[in-house]
Amino acid sequence: MLLGGFEPFTVSDFPGHPAAVVFTQGCNFRCPFCHNGGLLEAEPTGELLEEEEFLAFLAKRRGLLSGVVISGGEPCLQPDLAAFCRRLKEMGFNVKLDTNGSRPRVIAELLAQGVVDYIAMDVKAPLERYRQLTGGAGDPATISAAIALIAAGKVAHHFRTTRVESLLSDEDISRIKALIPPGSCHRLQPFIAENALAAQLRPQPKSPPRGSIDQC
C-alpha cells in the first residue's frame, strides 16, 4: 500500500466508531475543489508512511479505536487494498472505505470478501458534467455502476457531494440527488477553500451545507 499519512483519531468520519484515518497516495481524478492535493500523485516528492508503521500504531490503540477509515487519494487504485482491509479486520477493526467510485470492480471484490463495513462514495457532479469536474477522468457509466453496486450491497453506506457554489448550481444538486437510489443517504458537505487544487477557488468562503443529510 502507498500511504501518504494518517490522522490518529476521529469521531466524525466513521459513524459509531472512534477511528483512525489513513490516506492512500495517488488519485485518478483532478477535481478543482480537492483539498488533498498532496495525495494526488502516485509518486510524491515527500516521504510515504510505511504500512507496518501504521499497523504498529493500530496495535497499540486496540481498545481505544474500533474503526479505521481508508481514504485518499483513491484507495481503490491500490492493488493490495483487499489484503490490507483483511489485515485490519483480523486485528479486530471495523473498516470504512472512502471512494470516488471509479473502480466498481474493486468495490465488488471488497464486498464479496466481506472486508469492509461501511462505504462512503463521493458523487462529484451530475453525470453529464462528471468529466468536466474531475479533470476528464470521471466516466458517467462507471459512476452509475458504482452507485448501484454500493446501494445494493449489504454494508452501511452513504453518498456525499461537496457543494461548491461557483461550480454546482441548485439544479446540479437536484440532478445529483436524483442519482441516489431510494433508501440511501445523500449528504452535502461544505467546501474547504483554503487548500483547493484550483487556485481560483481558494478565496471563496467556506460554504455551509444545505441540508446535511437528504434522502435517508
Q: Using an 8 Å Cβ cutoff, are 147 and 189 in contact?
A: no
Angle between helices 140-152 and 104-113 (to 10 degrees): 20
Q: Is the peptide bond before 73 cis (omega within 30 degrees of 0)?
A: yes
Q: Would you say the pTM of this structure is higher than 0.85?
A: yes
Angle between helices 81-90 and 104-113 (to 10 degrees): 30
Query: What would the DSSP string read from start to end of 87-101?
Result: HHHHTT-EEEEEE-S
> What pLDDT is attached to residue 210?
58
What does the angle CA 76 – CA 113 – CA 119 come to, to the nearest 5 degrees? 50
Averaged pLDDT in 10-residue chunks for the chain of 216 residues:
97 98 98 92 86 98 98 98 99 99 98 99 98 95 98 97 95 98 96 85 64 58
The answer to whether residues 198 and 33 touch, using CB atoms and an 8 Å cutoff, is yes
Helices and strands per DSSP (H, E), number in the chain: 6, 8
3-state secondary structure of 116: coil
CATH numbers and ranges of domains, the chain: 3-214 (3.20.20.70)
| Beta strand pairing call for 186-190 and 94-99 | unpaired
Is the Cβ–Cβ distance between 115 and 82 less than 8 Å? Answer: yes
* Plot region of 198 (φ>0 → left; ψ -120 to 50 → alpha; else → beta): beta
**Measured between alpha carbons, how far is residue 104 from residues 115, 117, 160, 209 in Å?**
15, 16, 17, 27
CA distance 11 to 67: 10
Tell me which DSSP letter residue 39 carries.
Answer: G
Tell me which residue has cell 449489504: 154
Give me the pLDDT at residue 46, please.
Answer: 76
